[in-house]
Amino acid sequence: EGNNKEARGALVVLEGLDRSGKSSQCSRLVSYLERQGLSAELWRFPDRTTDVGQMISAYLTNASQLDDHTIHLLFSANRWEKRSLMETKLKSGITLIVDRYSYSGVAFSSAKGLDIEWCKAPEIGLLAPDLVAYLDISPDKAAERGGYGDERYEKLEFQKKVAEHYKVLHDASWKVVDACQPIEDVEKQLQEIVLACVTKCQKGKSLSSLWS
């Protein structure tokens, strides 16, 4: 079974509030997988390097103003423009560790008051992650870590709303990791969860689409 098919990589998404530790855990995970002899790449959304990504970046740094629906669709378009490359990479055996994905898209926009079903609609048909790991930290604890920058959403009051909207999106398949633990403990837990997911994908778990 499956002998003639190359093992695919896993689509792994890390989600969580700002300052939950997503970015450092994502790069640690990529190094870990590489140490295990696996191919892995670090991805992030928004991907600010594309034309769409530059419009998003201008909005986040307050260099431009956009209607809430418009920026929501740009975030989604930024994932759509990467969809086929993601699929190619996964099918060639590369595991993608992705810092934020559609869940950020829905949580942040619905936290502004947009209808959640409207927010989810443009994500339909994007690749469904094989694993969503949520780095769980309260907005107050995250804010205590300091280092909020000057970007549009980096405010405690707004992060509290985002946390509530992430809760609505949680389902039983998400792996919730306590992000208040020492960084090495978070790292260890993520390594186990991700390795199990990569193994499942190697054994033939099929790729699916959102929302599933």
Per CB under 6 A, residues contacting ligand FDM are: 18, 45-46, 60, 75, 100, 104-105, 108, 153
Comparison of 57 and 189: residue with beta carbon closer to Mg ion:
57
Rounded to 10 degrees, what is the CA torsion of 31, 14, 143, 172? -140
CB of 168 to ligand FDM, least distance (A): 15
Q: Give the whole-angstrom CA distance, residue 10 versus residue 171.
A: 19
Rounded to 10 degrees, what is the CA torsion of 187, 15, 86, 197? 50
Q: Taking CB within 5 to 8 Å according to partner kind, which of ligand FDM, Mg ion, none is near residue 105? A: ligand FDM
Comparison of 75 and 174: residue with beta carbon closer to ligand FDM:
75
Q: Give the whole-angstrom CA distance, residue 56 versus residue 60.
A: 6
Comparison of 32 and 108: residue with beta carbon closer to ligand FDM:
108
CB of 97 to ligand FDM, least distance (A): 14
Scan for tokens 């469904």, then name that residue: 128
Q: Give the whole-angstrom CA distance, residue 186 versus residue 57.
A: 29
Q: Taking CB within 5 to 8 Å according to partner kind, which of Mg ion, ligand FDM, none is near residue 104? A: ligand FDM
What is the rounded end-to-end Cα distance, in angstroms, of the chain? 25
Q: Give DSSP secondary structure letters for 44-101.
A: ESS-TTSHHHHHHHHHHTTSS---HHHHHHHHHHHHHHHHHHHHHHHHTT-EEEEES-
Q: Taking CB within 5 to 8 Å according to partner kind, which of ligand FDM, Mg ion, none is near residue 75? A: ligand FDM
Q: Taking CB within 5 to 8 Å according to partner kind, which of Mg ion, ligand FDM, none is near residue 14? A: none
Lay out the site mask for Mg ion across 4-33 (x = CB under 5 A, - = otherwise). Answer: --------------x---------------
Comparison of 17 and 119: residue with beta carbon closer to Mg ion:
17
Comparison of 98 and 198: residue with beta carbon closer to Mg ion:
98
CB of 196 to Mg ion, least distance (A): 29
Q: Give the whole-angstrom CA distance, residue 98 versus residue 56.
A: 18
User: What is the DSSP code (8-state) at residue 162?
Assistant: H
Residues in contact with Mg ion by CB under 5 A are 18
